[in-house]
Amino acid sequence: MPTSEEQQILRLLAKEWDHSGPPGIMDVSDIVAALGQAPSATMQALKLLFEAGLVDMNVLKTSAFLTPEGHDAADVR
C-alpha cells in the first residue's frame, strides 16, 4: 500500500497521464513544486515507487512517469 506521499505522486502523474496521454511524464522539479513536499520526501517516495514498478524514470532521474501498473494503482476516483 503506497504511503500518503507516494499516493499523491501517483495521483499527480495519473492526472498528467489522463490530460496529456500516457505515460504521464513530469519533471521531478515540477512534481516537487506541485505537491509542496520537501524535495527529499518526494525523491524518497519516487525511489520506492520505482522499486515497486509503479513509476519509471529517465536515465538522468530528472523526470518520472507512470507504468501501466502505476496508473492502475493511482486512486483517482
Supply the pLDDT for residue 32.
Answer: 94
Supply the pLDDT for residue 63.
Answer: 95
Supply the pLDDT for residue 14.
Answer: 94
Q: Which parts of the chain have pLDDT scores under 50?
A: 77
Supply the pLDDT for residue 2.
Answer: 66
The tally of CA atoms less than 13 A away on the side-chain side of residue 24 is: 24
Domains and CATH numbers, the chain: 4-73 (1.10.10.10)
- Give the contacts of 7 (CB within 8 A, at least 6 positions apart): 74, 75
Supply the pLDDT for residue 1.
Answer: 58
Supply the pLDDT for residue 77.
Answer: 43
